[in-house]
Amino acid sequence: MRMYDIIRRKRDGEELTDEEIGYFVREYTEGRIPDYQAAAFCMAVFYKGMSDRETAVLTMRMAESGDMLDLSRYGELSVDKHSTGGVGDKTSLIVGPIAASLGCKVTKMSGRGLGHTGGTIDKLESIPGFRTTLSAQEFFDVIDKTGMAIIGQSDNLTPADKKLYALRDVTATVDSIPLIVSSIMSKKLAAGSHTITLDVKVGSGAFMKTPEQAGILARKMVAIGKACGRNMAAVLTDMD
């Protein structure tokens, strides 16, 4: 199997096999596929899209590229939320403590800035002494004590997404629905929460400019989460 052929097939609008998608994720994560070929792949996906099956397979392979947290100790109390991001988005800093105060176990892995936005981790790290990299034991200790922990993406959790996330940021392939879905949901699945709420931003300050675009993105992410046994919900919020 050659990455050249996978890029060519996607460039020509063909549907990739499970094996081809798995090969790309595995080989790119291990450093055996160079950034320039991964960038070409992302651009081909940007223009030609992916079927629901392709997107689901890409999501699962990215989730399985590293460690997957086991939150079974918290049962149905384990919750997570994700905002698709935009200018001035600080939802997690408000919603997380509220959910924790109601007895939920908020286990959130957040990202850095993408495109024109600032990420939750970037905001938190502006606080002197605030650490967003915790060991697994520290992570659980904080949740047990406070009901909530927000951490950055570790090297061992969805490493495939960590590499692709940075690549998309500099190759003008951020606002591709299959790539957004696989990036968000691979992290959510690897983070292990039972219940996931998606805050899908729409408007001039967001990646999704219209309610129609945002609705497509929300439905695809909810469907993938439900197919993987998660309790899912999505809300569209204005970011004009």
Question: What whole-number distance in Å separates Cα of residue 38 and Cα of residue 42?
Answer: 6
Question: What whole-number distance in Å separates Cα of residue 135 and Cα of residue 105?
Answer: 17
Sheet of strand 231-238, all strands in order from the earlier edge strand to the far edge: 148-151, 105-109, 78-83, 195-202, 231-238
Residues forming the active site: 82, 161, 168, 183, 187
Q: Take residue 63 and report the two structure tokens written for it.
A: 């989730």
- Identify the sign of the CA torsion 96, 92, 231, 162: negative
Is residue 104 within 8 Å of residue 133, measured between CB atoms?
A: no
Q: Following DSSP, what letter does each residue of 165-232 receive, concatenated?
A: HHHHHTTT-TT-HHHHHHHHHHHHHHHT-SEEEEEEEESTTBSB-SHHHHHHHHHHHHHHHHHTT-EE
Is residue 198 within 8 Å of residue 222, measured between CB atoms?
A: yes
Residue indicated by tokens 């935009």 = 86
